[in-house]
Amino acid sequence: MKKITVSAPGKLMLFGEHAVVYNRPCLVTAVNQRLNLEAEIIKNQILLLEAPDVQIQEYQKELKDLGKGDIPKAARFVEMAVKNFLTEYQLPAGLKIKTRAEFSAQFGFGSSSASTVCVLKGLSEIAKIKLTNKEIFDLSYKTVLDIQGKGSGFDVAAAIYGGTIYFWTGGKIIEPINIDSIPLVVGYSGIKADTVTLINQVKEKADKNPELVEGIYNRIEEIVNQAKEKILKKEWDKVGDLMNKNHHLLKQLGVSIDKLDKMCQAALDAGAYGAKLSGAGGGDCMIALVSEEKREQVARAIEKAGGIMIEVKVNAEGVRIEV
């Protein structure tokens, strides 16, 4: 096989962000906006990368130099994923990779983790090595840690397994939640957040006040476990209540911002069951849980608070080979 096209979904964190970095669980769902990647074997021993969505054009590097020198931020995940693959397995020659996302890299939907997963899935197919999902997870998570130093791996798991999953730090538990959908509205704050900066900010707070932060993480863990049960029973009013509590704890961690708080409050005032920021905080998206009757009203209220609606379906399929 010389050429392959793979796609993986973006994700939305439902419950448990930040605490999941520190040996705790979270709930994450895959969304139906995908990252597409085409990988092709070429003659020269180089990696050629085209990722126009993130302004990477005609990027090239000798295979033996992968991971070395100054790598543009937007090329890091693909380059390190290829490097990590080549450390363990072989390819017949060099590679040309093209990526195209159906969602903006600004949303915090996890374009970096989705592209990492696509690289490893695609290369394992080209090299005819039947890697299991868990093996792809381990290599992808290693790639994320090589670049960021920190992170739970939940985004990588969502891109691989798809659906909605109960996930524990580092993939200790990856459990599918058997539901058909979750009635969510998604609002983008218009502000790009940097996950590593926010993780570091929380770490600083934890270093100064470990008991306070451990206490918050413990409460978030309880909320995640309760939310898992309530989502399975479709008790949306209770799930909404847990979202509000989770948002409140994230505020205490210091990762929310005025804009996200206002968007969440607007959603609640318009009749949402609950609302919270989704992801690292500092910007990116918020989610609100709604009844079908209130959906439009809540969406308009979030817009009035300055949010941009993003139409997505949750529970999307994980990484797949495209024909």
Q: Could you list the residues that contact ligand MEV (CB under 6 A)?
A: 13, 17-18, 20-21, 151-152, 154, 195, 199, 279-280
Report the nearest approach of ligand MEV to the CB of residue 144 (Å). 8
Q: Which of residues 108 and 162 has its CB atom nearest to ligand MEV in the complex? A: 108
Annotated catalytic residue, options 65, 138, 146, 155 = 155
Burial of 64 (0-12, 13-18, 19+ CB in 10 A): exposed
Structure tokens at 119: 């690289």
CB of 155 to ligand MEV, least distance (A): 6
Structure tokens belonging to residue 85 = 């693959």
Neighbours of 210 (CB within 10 A): 10
Task: Choose between 152 and 244: whose C-beta lies nearer to ligand MEV.
Answer: 152
C-beta of 51 vs 198, nearer to ligand MEV:
198
50: burial class by Cβ within 10 Å (0-12, 13-18, 19+)?
A: middle
User: For helices 154-161 and 111-126, what crossing angle results, to 10°?
Assistant: 50
Shortest distance (Å) from residue 279 CB to ligand MEV: 4
Looking at beta carbons only, is 20 or 74 nearer to ligand MEV?
20
Residue linked to tokens 């998206």: 285
CB closer to ligand MEV out of 120 and 301? 120
Residues contacting residue 317 through CB under 8 Å, at least 6 positions apart: 9, 30, 162, 163
Q: Rounded to an integer, what is the distance from CA 280 to the centroid of its chain?
A: 10
HSE, CB side, 13 Å, CA atoms: give it for residue 205.
Answer: 19
Instruction: Please indicate whether residue 146 is annotated as part of the active site.
Output: no
Please report how close the Cβ of residue 165 comes to ligand MEV at its closest, in angstroms: 13
CB of 20 to ligand MEV, least distance (A): 5
Which residues are known catalytic residues? 155
